[in-house]
Amino acid sequence: MTRPYEPVVQYVEAVLDTKALDVVVLDLHGLTSFADTFVICSGRSHRQVSAIAELVEQNLKAGGIKPLGIEGIREGHWVLMDYGDVVIHVFLEPIRIFYDLEGLWSDARRIEQSDLK
């Protein structure tokens, strides 16, 4: 029997293996056609945001998963990592609060870490 969120586990683990803060996973099935899942996290500085994104990319690449595109890694404010069905957002904390993706996508179901095990 497969777990319902098994395809997302590698992405979430790649984020959790960094020093990312406040990791939230949103199930977007039925809400949009451009992604099935958002993984949202934060860093405390521009450097940390960029480092988190670089480590996530390395961890996923080691598992054979390559991004379709990555935007914002040099600036370190908001890094968007597009993996097709999964989009990872790494924010500088104040930028995350300003854009409030969790509020914008409040209809999305939050996937708890216990759901991924």
Per-residue pLDDT tens for 1-45?
344 556 788 898 899 889 899 999 999 988 888 888 999 999 999
The predicted-structure confidence for 62-84, as pLDDT tens digits, reads as follows 999 999 999 999 999 999 999 99
Report field, pTM of the whole predicted structure over 0.85: yes
* Nearest by Cα to 101 from 85, 80, 83: 80
Query: Band of the pLDDT at 116, cuts 50, 70, 90?
Result: low
Closest CA to 42 of 14, 19, 65, 60: 19
Distance of CA 37 to the CA centre of its chain: 8
Question: Tokens 């020093």 sit at which residue?
Answer: 19
Report all structural domains of the chain as residue ranges with CATH numbers, in order of start: 6-104 (3.30.460.10)
